[in-house]
Amino acid sequence: NPRLVLLQCVANYPAAWEDANVAVLDTLRAAFGCPVGYSDHSPGALVPLLAVARGACVIEKHITFDRFLPGPDHAFAMEAPEFASMAKQIRAASAAMGDGVKILLPGERNIAPLARRGLYAARHIPRGTVISRDMIAALRPAKGLEPAALPKILGRKARRNIAQHEPLSWDCF
């Protein structure tokens, strides 16, 4: 049935966090091949947020106007402002999950050269010296050669004197 969503539920009122077993959502999805959700009786928004992070597309949570009303559900239910806050957090958590594809975000483009590493001389390297690993350091910012070039420069000779902390380039070898 394409309209079926299978919900995990712990039938304790209130349910303890350690009994939530949010990871079972993976098991249910794999076993039944349908969307999953969570029917929550635990305090606060923690379990629903974890369920969304685990792929839940439906969250069921008790809501009340007053926790002090008589009846079995009111004491652990959320009042309207808490529920609204939880719904906002769930939408934010869902957005934060992303699509699983790693990309360089537009806002990261300016910081990327500062965050990435480049190859530098770890010490003064005289002209004619055969390059060994202990002579090279991968440091920030990313100037000169990328760290992936390291195997290609090991064993080469320095064409000129290379100053300590100088970013390395192909014309050094």
Domains and CATH numbers, the chain: 6-97 (3.20.20.70), 107-167 (3.90.1210.10)
Q: What's the predicted TM-score (pTM) here? A: 0.67
Q: What is the pLDDT of residue 120?
A: 98
Helix (H) or strand (E) holding 113: helix 112-115
Q: What is the pLDDT of residue 104?
A: 85
Evaluate whether 21 touches 4 at the Cβ level (below 8 Å). Answer: no
Profile the chain (173 residues) by mean pLDDT over runs of 10 residues. 91 92 98 96 95 96 94 90 97 93 88 89 98 97 94 98 98 97
73-100 confidence digits (pLDDT tens): 898 899 999 999 999 999 999 999 999 9
Q: Report the distance separating Cα 15 and Cα 32, nearest Å.
A: 25
The percent of residues in the chain predicted with pLDDT above 70, rounded, is 100
Q: What is the pLDDT of residue 31?
A: 97
The DSSP bridge partners found for residue 136 are 121
DSSP secondary structure string, 1-69? -TT--EEEE--SSSPPGGG--TTHHHHHHHHH-S-EEEEE-SSSSHHHHHHHHTT-SEEEE-EES-TTS
Q: What is the pLDDT of residue 1?
A: 73
Q: What is the pLDDT of residue 72?
A: 84
What does the chain come to in residues?
Answer: 173
